[in-house]
Each structure stands twice: as C-alpha cells, then as structure tokens.
C-alpha cells in the first residue's frame, strides 16, 4: 500500500472555501450540535414555507428518519427558477454527444422552458403528485428535463439505467407501479445503437399497467408507436406552454426511487425525499468540489445511477452550476475522448470512476499527453476503491501533478458523499477516501458489532443520520430495517469493510456482503445466480467476485448442469448470452466454471468463502474444508478453476 502523502497545494489553500482549521471546527460543530448546524445549512435552499424542526431521526425500532419535516419546498424551483433572476442566460447544461461533432448548450432559461413543457406533457396525461414515472433514457438533455419535470409536479421518478434488459425494466416498472414511461427511440453509445423503445415495448408486454409512453427522438431509427399509448415528445411539446407552476412539496415527500442491488432478493427501491436530500446534495457538491461561480464541472456518470442524480443534476443545478452531460464512452472514437472534451469545454472539475481510469491507463500516457487539460483544477473518483497505482497515474498524467483528487465514498443509500477529502483542507493519501464530511459519524465495528477505536479494520457503520440518507425501501419499510439496521442494532450498516489508520483516515476495502462491484456497478450475486438457474440446462449456480484488472471485480460463476448435459464452450457462451439478455450486459459472467458439485455444509449451505478463494486463485488458503458434506468437491473445483494462467 502506498504511503505517499500529498499536501494541499498552495493555490488551493488560497482559493478553497474550507481549510483544515475550518474543517475541524465545522465538523466538530456538526457533531456536537446537529440541529444548530443543519438549521443553518438548511437555508442554502429556498423554502416556500420555512422549516421550524430540523432533525428527527431514530435508528431503533421502526427506524424513522425525518429532516426539516415541516418545511415546504420544490426541487425544480431550487434547481431552475430561483436562478432565473441572475442566471437566465448562463449555461446550465453543456451536452456533449456520442459523436464529437455534436454538442449543445442549454441556458437556465431554456432549461426552465423545456422542463415546464415536459411537466405539462405529464400533467396532460394525468400524472399527479406522488405518481411514479419510469425514465429509461440515454444521456441526452431530455433525461434531465424528465427528472426535473417530475420534481416540478411532485411525481416520483424512477430512472432505470439504459443498459438494463426488458425484464429488469419490467421488474422495476411493476415494483413501483409506474403508469407512465419516458424513453427515447434509441440510445447511442460508442457509435452503437441501443434499442430503448423496443425494450420498453418488451417490458410493458411483461409488466402491463402502463398507460403512457413518451418517446424522445434521438437517432430517428424506426420504432413501433402504439397510437393510443405512445406519443412523440416533440409532437406533445408543440401543444403545451413553457410555463408550469411548481408543486408545493413537503420536505419529506418522495423525490425519487432508484433501484439498487443488495445481497439478497430482487433489487430494492431506494427512496429519497425532497428537502434533506437537496440540502445535502448541494452542500456536498459545493464543498467537495469547491464549486465556485463560473466553474465548468463534469461528472461522467450515467443518470441511471445515483452519482448522475446527485452530481450531474441535483447538486450542481441547485448551486447554479454549469454541468456537463456526456452521452458517449471514454474510448470512442479514441482513448483521448475524455481529455478532448475537457479541452473543448474548458472543464475545471472532472469526476469519474476508477474503472475508467484503469482502462485509460492501460492505453498509455500518449492519448492523454497529446491534449492540454490546462483548464483542470480538481479531479474526483467514485464508485469503488481506487488502487494507489491508478490514483498516482490519474494525479501525475491526467492532472499534471497539479490537481488534488477527491476520492469520494458514498452509496445509493446515502444520497450524497459521506467520506471524502476537501481539496483545500485535506492532505491526500492515494487510495484513502480520508475523512468524514460534515455531520457524518463513521464507526468501525467488529463482527459482533463492538466499536473499535484507533487504527483498526472492520465493518463500516454510520452511527447517526445525515439529511441525504434514504428514508425507506419503496413499498417495503420492513426490508429497509432488516437490510440496514438489524446487523448492528441502532446503527446504519454500509455493507463495506474499512480500515482506519493512525491519522484517522478511512480506507474502504470493498463490500463484505454478497454484493460485487463490477466497473463501479453494484450487482447482487444472488441476482446473477437466479438468472443462471432460469436456464433449462442449469441445475445450480453460485456466483462470487474475483479481482479484475480493469473492472475492479469480475463475475465468476460456478455452474452445475442438469443430469446428462455435457459442458461445452458453446454452452458457456449460451449462458453468458442468457444472463446478458435476462439482466443486462453489466451482469454477464466473466468466467463460468462447470462444476459437478458445489462445496456445501452438511446442512446444505454453499460455502462461498471457499468459492471466493478459488476464484481469487488463492487455493493454497482454503481454510477448513472438513465440515463439508463432500470434501472431494473442492479438489475438482481447484483443478478446473478458470483463472489458470
Ligand atoms: C463502493 C455509488 C471505495 C462501496 C456512489 C459502496 C467505493 C458502493 C467508493 C456503493 C470509494 C463507492 N471508495 N468504494 N470512493 N465509492 N464505493 O450504490 O462498496 O452504486 O458500498 O453508489 O460502491 O455503490 P453505489
């Protein structure tokens, strides 16, 4: 592990909102007096009716989390309308298309008009406050209009990543009972078309219950339109006005649902509400990225993930920022694309994922060095642990040894960044997310839940609430309690392992549950297993993660076939294709090992510990196998492992 320390650059100490002394003081106050602290910072957004209560949270019993509970506000008003007085002509969104020749700029006034039109289109279709709208879109400005239009009228959006299959989409439509879907004819990524509308049709055939589909024309590709159910966005937009009032929303009214994978069962609908979420997203965006007026800010995430919600859209727009939205991929048309976009739009802050950094690092320095990147001031990382080698390359080659890196740890559930450096305050250690943000109380516990002090490793909990925290699992509050508050009663359990060093810095070591992190995307091993056993030739499957140079973790599947079915290369390909189709490309196994048996205890429980070790090529270290029902299974697994060099 690298022990390098990077001091705060002098230029940053001068420019930043927060230096180290200020961080210490503000952090201490946020912990000692959360009500006073958040009463003050709650003022950063506009309230139609000011709140009089601040924090009302309980991690025990039924778990109840409320912030600013009697305040009334509207997220779209905060992200758009309140900026119109001073920023009507300022660019809100820079859109960079998949093809480098395509880009456009949307001012706050234009954003207002487009969002109002989209909101009116929804209203005309009887979408009301509290109704769920599913958004299945490419990275085009209309995705932002759709999300903000929902916020404007108080509908709850559920954005589903465009890479998910029709079945995954259907599951998510059904779970939250969406009657309205916003999509596009096709998406465009790396020059390849994604059949979004056709996927929506297939999903609805399965889910039913959808009355309206609004279709944005992106590629002009041929799609089928149901004359009753479907409408083109550009046609619907022609017959509505560019004015639409903002619904009055209670601070605790839902803003969105975002489905995410857990260690068991189907993906769960993480529910975020209005007031606390926006306060936290905008505050973290301002301080973590030290956002100042005029900065050009780019987060490369997809709006289908929480990073896109909080740090492409809501945080930046609440701060009146200029946020860049990129439709494409890092290596199209060439490996210089990210850096060319930075030069083209004079990007100051660049926020991406370790998997992209590692992939581009493999392509060498030259595609980076041939660009200027002189506008860059700050770099960010999110989604998975960043290994020190990738960190140093990002720092040295991309940032020319000039730009601090904020390694931000957080989760879909947390709504915003919880552990992170602040660029003017925090010395950096490559690979460490460093210190907690204001109001965040991390605790490392052992397997029994005993809090550990000092420099230790263990499981990461957060012991008290912050305003951006999820409030519930949509439609299943019991699952919320069970998933996050039962392992260590009275604490929020993150599912991550973590080390704390002598300086109090936190080093996230990755998931300790049955969730794997593939290219920064969360995948439940149980989901991939259920998909595999759906295949007629599969009798049983067990899935684990293994270290992967680019993806961080790869998906390793052990598959037991039905009696009489012979393993073959064709079948391996067939199973990979099956999972791709069933869940989506991100869930496709990287390796499949056909195994006549799986290591099980005598009570029939699969010993994943052993499967993980074999997948990691750590088979000299399998531990005690004597409790297995049939220890001979392990020899077969080791001899046929798929990692053999
Ligand atoms: C992992 C993404 C190390 C972690 C915002 C967490 C990280 C999961 C980091 C959440 C980081 C995210 N360092 N690990 N900086 N950021 N993770 O819900 O395991 O898609 O639990 O949210 O990603 O993934 P999610």
pLDDT one-digit tens code per residue, 512-570: 999 999 998 999 999 999 999 999 999 999 999 999 999 999 999 999 999 999 999 99
CA 32/CA 360 separation, integer angstroms: 44
Closest residue to atom 12 of ligand 1, CA basis: 383
Do 492 and 526 sit in the same domain of this protein? no
**What range defines the domain where residue 547 resides?**
519-640
Confirm whether pTM is higher than 0.80.
yes
Do 131 and 194 sit in the same domain of this protein? yes
385 close to ligand 1 (CB < 6 Angstrom)? yes
362 known member of a binding site = no
> How far, in Å, is the centroid of ligand 1 from the Cα of 508?
9
- pLDDT exceeds cutoff 60 at 1: no
467 known member of a binding site = no
Q: How many structural domains is the chain composed of? A: 2
Do 238 and 132 sit in the same domain of this protein? yes
Do 208 and 253 sit in the same domain of this protein? yes
Q: Report residue 630 as tokens.
A: 């049939």
CATH number of domain containing 628: 3.30.300.30
Do 559 and 426 sit in the same domain of this protein? no
- pLDDT exceeds cutoff 60 at 644: no
135 close to ligand 1 (CB < 6 Angstrom)? no
Do 420 and 552 sit in the same domain of this protein? no
Kindly state whether residue 504 falls inside one of the protein's structural domains.
Answer: no
Do 137 and 210 sit in the same domain of this protein? yes
CA 29/CA 219 separation, integer angstroms: 52
Per residue in 604-625, pLDDT (tens digit) is 888 888 999 999 988 777 877 8
Do 37 and 141 sit in the same domain of this protein? yes
Question: To test ligand 1's pocket by mutation, which of 315, 383, 507, 518 has the most ligand atoms within 8 angstroms of CB?
Answer: 383
Question: To test ligand 1's pocket by mutation, which of 314, 469, 509, 522 has the most ligand atoms within 8 angstroms of CB?
Answer: 522
Do 561 and 486 sit in the same domain of this protein? no
416 close to ligand 1 (CB < 6 Angstrom)? no
241 known member of a binding site = no
CATH number of domain containing 430: 3.40.50.12780
496 close to ligand 1 (CB < 6 Angstrom)? yes
Kindly state whether residue 85 falls inside one of the protein's structural domains.
Answer: yes
How many Cβ atoms are within 10 Å of 113's Cβ, its own excluded?
19
CA 200/CA 445 separation, integer angstroms: 44
CA 502/CA 195 separation, integer angstroms: 51
Per residue in 78-137, pLDDT (tens digit) is 999 999 999 999 999 999 999 999 999 999 999 999 999 999 999 999 999 999 999 999
Kindly state whether residue 285 falls inside one of the protein's structural domains.
Answer: yes
Residue 113 DSSP SS3: helix
- pLDDT exceeds cutoff 60 at 507: yes
409 close to ligand 1 (CB < 6 Angstrom)? yes
Do 160 and 103 sit in the same domain of this protein? yes
CA 574/CA 158 separation, integer angstroms: 31
Do 131 and 258 sit in the same domain of this protein? yes
- Token pair 């954003």 is at which residue? 111
Closest residue to atom 1 of ligand 1, CA basis: 384
Give the CA count within 13 Å in the CB-facing half-sphere of 205.
Answer: 9
Do 420 and 539 sit in the same domain of this protein? no
Kindly state whether residue 511 falls inside one of the protein's structural domains.
Answer: no
> How far, in Å, is the centroid of ligand 1 from the Cα of 402?
26
383 close to ligand 1 (CB < 6 Angstrom)? yes
Q: Report residue 244 as tokens.
A: 């639409």
Last residue of a domain, one of 469, 499, 529: 499
Residues 6+ apart with CB under 8 A from 499: 444, 455, 456, 457, 506, 507, 509
Give the CA count within 13 Å in the CB-facing half-sphere of 85.
Answer: 3
Kindly state whether residue 624 falls inside one of the protein's structural domains.
Answer: yes
523 close to ligand 1 (CB < 6 Angstrom)? no
424 known member of a binding site = no
Kindly state whether residue 5 falls inside one of the protein's structural domains.
Answer: no
Per residue in 53-83, pLDDT (tens digit) is 999 999 999 999 999 999 999 999 999 999 9
The residue ranking higher by pLDDT, 618 or 575, is 575
Kindly state whether residue 68 falls inside one of the protein's structural domains.
Answer: yes
- Token pair 């001068």 is at which residue? 14
């Amino acid at each position: 592990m690298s022990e390098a320390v990077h001091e705060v650059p002098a230029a940053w100490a001068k420019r930043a909102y927060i230096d180290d002394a200020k961080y210490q003081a503000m952090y201490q106050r946020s912990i000692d007096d959360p009500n006073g602290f958040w009463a003050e910072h709650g003022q950063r957004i506009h309230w139609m009716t000011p709140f009089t209560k601040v924090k009302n949270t309980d991690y025990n019993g039924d778990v109840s989390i409320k912030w600013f509970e009697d305040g009334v506000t509207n997220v779209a008003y905060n992200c758009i309308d309140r900026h119109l007085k001073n920023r009507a002509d300022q660019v809100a969104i820079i859109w960079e298309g998949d093809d480098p020749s395509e880009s456009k700029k949307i001012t706050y006034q234009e954003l207002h008009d487009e969002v109002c039109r989209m909101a009116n289109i929804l209203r005309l279709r009887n979408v009301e406050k509290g109704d769920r709208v599913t958004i299945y879109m490419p990275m085009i400005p209309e995705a932002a209009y759709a999300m903000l239009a929902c916020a404007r009228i108080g509908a709850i959006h559920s954005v589903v990543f465009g890479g998910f299959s029709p079945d995954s989409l259907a599951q998510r439509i059904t779970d939250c009972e969406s009657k309205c879907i916003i999509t596009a004819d096709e998406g465009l990524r790396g020059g390849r078309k994604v059949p979004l509308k056709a996927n929506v049709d297939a999903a609805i055939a399965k889910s039913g219950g959808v009355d309206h589909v609004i279709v944005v024309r992106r590629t002009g590709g041929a799609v089928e339109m149901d004359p009753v159910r479907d409408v083109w966005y550009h046609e619907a937009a022609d017959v509505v006005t560019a004015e639409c009032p903002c619904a009055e929303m209670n601070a605790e009214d839902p803003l969105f649902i975002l489905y995410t994978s857990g260690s068991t069962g189907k993906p769960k609908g993480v529910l975020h509400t209005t007031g606390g979420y926006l306060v936290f997203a905008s505050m973290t965006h301002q301080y973590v990225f030290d956002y100042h007026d005029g900065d050009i800010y780019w987060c490369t995430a997809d709006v289908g993930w929480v990073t896109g919600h909080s740090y492409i859209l809501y945080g930046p727009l609440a701060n009146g920022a200029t946020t860049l939205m990129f439709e494409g991929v890092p290596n199209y048309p060439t490996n210089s694309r990210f850096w060319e976009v930075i030069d083209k739009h004079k990007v100051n802050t660049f926020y991406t994922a370790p998997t992209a950094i590692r992939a581009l690092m493999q392509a060498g320095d030259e595609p980076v060095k041939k660009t200027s990147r002189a506008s860059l001031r700050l770099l960010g990382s999110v989604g998975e642990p960043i290994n020190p080698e990738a960190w140093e390359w990002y720092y040295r080659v991309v940032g020319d040894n000039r730009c601090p890196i904020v390694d931000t740890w957080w989760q879909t559930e947390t709504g915003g960044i919880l552990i992170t450096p602040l660029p003017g305050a925090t010395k950096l250690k490559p690979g460490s997310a460093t210190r907690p943000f204001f109001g965040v109380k991390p605790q490392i516990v052992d397997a029994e839940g005993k809090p550990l002090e000092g420099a230790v490793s263990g499981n990461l909990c957060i012991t008290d609430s912050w305003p951006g925290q999820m409030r519930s699992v949509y439609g299943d509050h019991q699952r919320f309690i069970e998933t996050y508050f039962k392992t260590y009663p009275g604490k929020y359990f993150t599912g991550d392992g973590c080390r704390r060093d002598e300086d109090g810095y936190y080093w996230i070591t990755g998931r300790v549950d049955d969730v794997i992190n593939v290219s920064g995307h969360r995948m439940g091993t149980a989901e991939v297993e259920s998909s595999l056993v759906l295949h007629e030739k599969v009798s049983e499957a067990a899935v684990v993660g293994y270290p992967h140079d680019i993806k961080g973790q790869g998906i390793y599947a052990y598959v037991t076939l039905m009696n009489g079915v012979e393993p073959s290369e064709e079948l391996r390909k067939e199973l990979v294709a099956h999972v791709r189709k069933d869940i989506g490309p991100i869930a496709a196994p990287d390796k499949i090992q056909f195994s006549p048996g799986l290591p099980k205890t005598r009570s029939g429980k699969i010993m994943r510990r052993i499967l993980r070790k074999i997948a990691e090529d750590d088979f000299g270290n399998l531990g005690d196998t004597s409790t297995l029902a049939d220890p001979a299974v392990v020899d077969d697994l080791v001899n046929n492992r798929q990692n053999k060099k």
